[in-house]
Structure formats: structure tokens, C-alpha cells
Amino acid sequence: MGASQNFDVCVIGAGPGGYVAAIRAAQLGKKTCVIEREYLGGVCLNVGCIPSKAMISASHFLEKMRHDAPEMGIEVKSDIKVNMKKLVGWKQSVSDRMANGVSQLLKGNGVTVIRGEAEFTSPNEISVRSSGDGKGGTTIAAKNFVIATGSRPIEIPGFTIDEKNVLSSTGALALDEVPKKLVVIGGGYIGLEISSYLKKLGSEVIVLEAGGSLLNGVVDRECVQVVERKLKKGGVQVMFNAKAKSYKKSGSQYEVEFESSGKIEKLKCDKILLTVGRRPNSDQTGLKKIGVAMDERGFIKVDAQRRTNLKHIFAIGDIAGQPMLAHKASHEGVLVAEVIGGMNRAYDVKTVPAVVFTDPEIASAGLLESECAGRGYTDLMVSKFPFAANGRAVSLMETDGFVKIIADKKTHVVLGVHMVGPEVSNLISEAALAIEMGARVEDLALTIHPHPTLGEVVMEAAEATLGHAIHVIQKPLSRAESSNGAAATRT
């Protein structure tokens, strides 16, 4: 038998939920360990969010050099070449730097890091095995456990991910060379983000989407339309209602068979990227054996404190349900650690903001228009303000998109904010704060925003929602609307 150790808190998984939970628990004086089988920082930091944003930043920089620099009068005398191996190496250095930071934070806060595969042997103990353990391993007993083991890509019949022919996002972020032709199965945010940057690096990209639209039901439809137009303009081909069936080797390429409008069609490509969603890793770690309750989709059932049906076992992040976003996992990590530490905490957020790093970016907080009626909001104020009317956006040569604000016409309380345009990933936090605080549209409109900045578009969208935008021409409000201070018009 291997060694045995005892802790107050044992966190399984060191992703953006797990490592945060471990650090906060240690800060609160709890003897804490975190078990990790692969990467400190998890999928997000090592093969997901961070490296993909690095590649997106590089491709955006390349696009600006090729297309915007000459118009600005900056002349590049020689051809711009992409050294893919060096680019991937730089991308990896970004992830390595962040992972090293996580390691230092865990160490600095006194968290014990244990490498290996964890499995519950009872509700109060886990066994941790690493490749060199043989028959032994380490037994961990703890008063509290936090399950933060995340998710993995979904596979579909006919397509098994091998990271050679059929890639997940992990394989797509580690390519030694840009594929000449790429077929992307799935028009969700991961597929579109990777499609966008590979197209800029030189790939011919075809997206097969089984549904009738991209990012269906995930973000505001008008925001998606802006991205769809930019994809089309950039040469990315999107095929809707196209269901991938199988693939086979065809010479030096691969032939993908798919069904579209009842007909079987075929496409040749050099690589296949499968991005049809992710599934929770709840079939691992021996969770069923100890009786942890799950729903029909495999997510662990949790209460408002993120407790499972076993009250000393908590679950956070992707494995605990939608939205499967890193920042939601981190929020839950702090929450759970503080609950274990005796603090009065519960998960009661009004919104989890979401960002899609396409070109242009999409960001969203709060309700979609389609969701408002179901929540009892039937009389809305809705308006948009375009980035084309913003001086900073014009100077950046990035004028596609807008900020849309949805508010309750009776109270003027902000219900949802949806953005598409330059750097909206950095603008959405203001909207999230407004929604969490129960702010009214006037709170945004009357807050002085610095000039010239992209953030002014949020203020001007609020003014447009109230019917008195300065930098776009609006239809005048009726006298009755003016006296009520509300705008029913859409701009």
C-alpha cells in the first residue's frame, strides 16, 4: 500500500475552478491539497482559453499588418511570412508562463499539489495513482472534497478524435503547419474562434453546421449576423443544415461525407476539426460508485452552495452544469471554499457574462430578447448604438458592430446587454456590474465615460434606449413617451 494523508479540503482537478478553490481554502486556514492528473490550470489555461486567445491575437495582428497598415500609410516592403512552429512555440510560452504562475500561487498559499489520477474508494477517501505508482498509490482522506474535474470534447458517430486526422481544439492549437483545407464540424463558439484564426493564417475553411444558424440560442441573433457577414467576407464557407456522417482517407487528404437537404455530399480536406460541444467528466473518478447524484446529461446535481447529495462533497465548474465557462468555475471555487470556511455564501448571480472571440468579438450579459417574456417582461425598451459612430473604433479601423441594451420599460432596469465589435470582451464587465446591481438605463447614460474610448458606446446605447442619442439620428419620441422618459423604438 502507498502513503496515506489527511486534509481538511481535497480538491480534485486544478483547472480554473479547482486551483482557485484550493487557494481560497488555504487562505482560510484549511489544510488543503489539490489533485491534478495533467495540467495545472486545466484545459482552459493549457489547451483552451489562453492558448486560443494567443493564436487569435497573432492572427489579428497579421490581418492588421496585411490590410490596415497599408491604408494607414505604413508600407511593408517584403512579404509577411508565418513561421508556424515559432508561432506555436510562442503560444506555448504564454500558457507555460500562466501555468507556472498557478504553481507559484499554490505553493505560496501552502496548498499541497499531488499529481495523479484520483478515484473515490469511499465517500471519505480517494486513491491517487500516477504512472510510476505500480500497485501502490496515495490514499487521501479529507473532511471535505471539491470535484472540479471539468469536461471533454463530445465525439459523434463516424468521427473519433485522434488529434492527427480528427482534431479537437487541443490538436488545432498545436499544429506544426497551417492546413491548406480544413473542415470544421460544428458552428459553436470553439469552432468559429479556431476557424477565424486559421483562415487568417492561410487555411481554406469550410464549416458544417447541423442547425440553421451559428451560435444558435447562445447569443443575440443580430450580433451573430455581424459575425456571419465578416466570416463570409473573409472567405470562410458556412454550410447550414449539414450533418457530418463519416470520413475516409483519400490519397493524401481526407474525404468527409455529410448530409445536406436530404442529399449525401462529400468534401476533401487536409484536417478535420470536431467542435460539437463538451461533456462533463462525471463518468470518471468513481463518482457513481459512491452515489453522487447526476442529471440525465451527466452533470452533478448541486444546491446553491454547490453541495452534492453527499453534503461534504462539493462540485464546481463544467461538471456542475451550464454555463461551461472558466469564470463561472472560478466564482464557484471561491464560493465553495468560503462555505467550507463557515461563511454565509450561496450561488445567486443574476448573470454570467459570455464572450465569443470571433472577428469581431461577441459579448453578452443578462437576458436575450427572446428570454424576457418568459421572465415576465413583456414591455421592453430596446436600442442599439453602432461602433461606426465612435471615434476610437474609427481610428482602430474596426467599425463593425454595435452595443444593444434591453431594459424593462416600466422600471428602466437593465435586463440584458449584447455587444458585437472591437474589444467588446473588455467592455462587457460594465454591463454585468449594471445587471448585478439592478441598475437603470439612466445609470449608464448619466455616468460620464472617457473620450475617445470604445466604452462610450455603452453610454450612447443607453442614451439611445432612452430616445435621446446624440451621435446617431433617432426618430423623435412622442410627447407622452418623453414625459415618461421611455423609448419604445428600436434603433
Biggest alpha carbon–alpha carbon distance for the chain: 82
Has domain 166-276 been given CATH number 3.50.50.60? yes
pLDDT of residue 261: 87
CA 165 to each of CA 51, 85, 92, 184, 264: distance values in angstroms, whole numbers, following the listed order: 21, 19, 22, 12, 21
pLDDT of residue 483: 40
pLDDT of residue 216: 82
pLDDT of 474 reads: 87
Separation CA 231–CA 219 (nearest Å): 17
Residues near 190 by beta carbon (within 8 Å), at least 6 away in sequence:
52, 169, 275
Pairing of strands 271-274, 125-129: unpaired
pLDDT of residue 491: 45
Provide the Cα torsion 441, 443, 448, 452; round to 10°: -30
* End-to-end Cα spacing for the chain: 70
What residues pair up with 138 in beta bridges, in sequence order?
A: 128
- The CATH architecture one would assign to domain 360-484 is 2-Layer Sandwich (3.30)
Catalytic residue among 67, 312, 451, 471: 451
Amino acid at 299: F
Contact 316, 149 (CB under 8 A): no
Q: What is the pLDDT of residue 135?
A: 56
Residue spans per domain, the chain: 4-48+87-152+279-340, 166-276, 360-484
Domain 166-276 in the same topology as domain 4-48+87-152+279-340: yes
Per-residue pLDDT reduced to its tens digit, 107-119: 999 999 999 999 9
Q: Which positions of the chain have pLDDT values less than 70?
A: 1-2, 131-136, 476-491
The CATH superfamily assigned to 4-48+87-152+279-340 is: FAD/NAD(P)-binding domain (3.50.50.60)
pLDDT of residue 63: 94
- Is residue 355 within 8 Å of 192, Cβ to Cβ? no
pLDDT of residue 452: 98
Is residue 451 annotated as part of the catalytic site, yes or no? yes
Predicted confidence (pLDDT) per residue in 117-176, tens digit: 999 999 999 999 986 665 568 999 999 999 999 999 999 999 999 999 999 999 999 998
Cβ pair 10, 94 in contact under 8 A: no
